[in-house]
Amino acid sequence: MATQADNSSPKKEAHKEGASRFRVTVVGSGNWGSVAVKLIASNTLHQSIFHDEVRMWVFEEVLPSGQKLTDTINRTNENVKYLPGIKLGKNVVADPDLENAVKEANMLVFVTPHQFMEGICKRLIGKIKPDAEAISLIKGMEVKKEGPCLISKLITDMLGINCCVLMGANIANEIALEKFSEATVGYRHSKEVAQRWARLVSTSYFLVSPVQDVEGVELCGTLKNVVAIAAGLVDGLDMGNNTKAAIMRIGLREMRALSKLLFSSVKDTTFFESCGVADLITTCLGGRNRRVAEAFARNGGKRSFDELEAELLQGQKLQGVSTAREVYEVLRHRGWQASFPLFTTVHEISIGKLPPSAIVEYSNSSAQ
Ligand X SMILES: O=P(O)(O)OC[C@H](O)CO
Catalytic residue positions? 224
- The b-or-e profile of 112-150 (16+ CB within 10 A means b, else e) is bbbeebeebbeebeeebeeebbbbbbbbbbbbeeeebeb
- Residue 187 Cβ vs ligand NAD, minimum distance, rounded to whole Å: 18
User: Residue 13 or 306: which CB sits closer to ligand NAD?
Assistant: 306
Q: How long a stretch of residues is the chain?
A: 368
Does 139 carry a binding-site annotation? Answer: yes
Contacting residue, 43, 112, 274, 366, with ligand NAD by CB under 6 A: 112
**Residues contacting 53, CB < 8 A, separation 6+:** 23, 44, 91, 92, 93
- Residue 32 Cβ vs ligand NAD, minimum distance, rounded to whole Å: 3
- Residue 167 Cβ vs ligand X, minimum distance, rounded to whole Å: 8
User: Residue 152 or 366: which CB sits closer to ligand NAD?
Assistant: 152
User: Residue 235 or 279: which CB sits closer to ligand X?
Assistant: 279
Contacting residue, 91, 109, 135, 140, with ligand NAD by CB under 6 A: 140
Does 33 carry a binding-site annotation? Answer: yes
Does 288 carry a binding-site annotation? Answer: yes
CA distance 49 to 244: 46
The answer to the question of residue 202 lying near ligand X (CB under 6 A) is: no
CA distance 264 to 193: 24
Contacting residue, 95, 279, 294, 348, with ligand X by CB under 6 A: 279
Query: What is the footprint of ligand X within residues 319-338 (CB under 6 A)?
Result: 319
Beta carbons of 219 and 255 less than 8 angstroms apart: yes
CA distance 344 to 355: 13
In angstroms, the Cα distances linking 163 to 152, 187, 194, 295, 337 are 6, 8, 10, 36, 31
What does the per-residue mask of binding to ligand X show for 129-168, with x meaning CB under 6 A?
Answer: ----------x-----------------------------
Does 32 carry a binding-site annotation? Answer: yes
Which residue has the closest beta carbon to ligand X? 287
- Please state the residue numbers annotated as binding site for NAD(+): 28-33, 59, 116, 172, 288, 317, 319
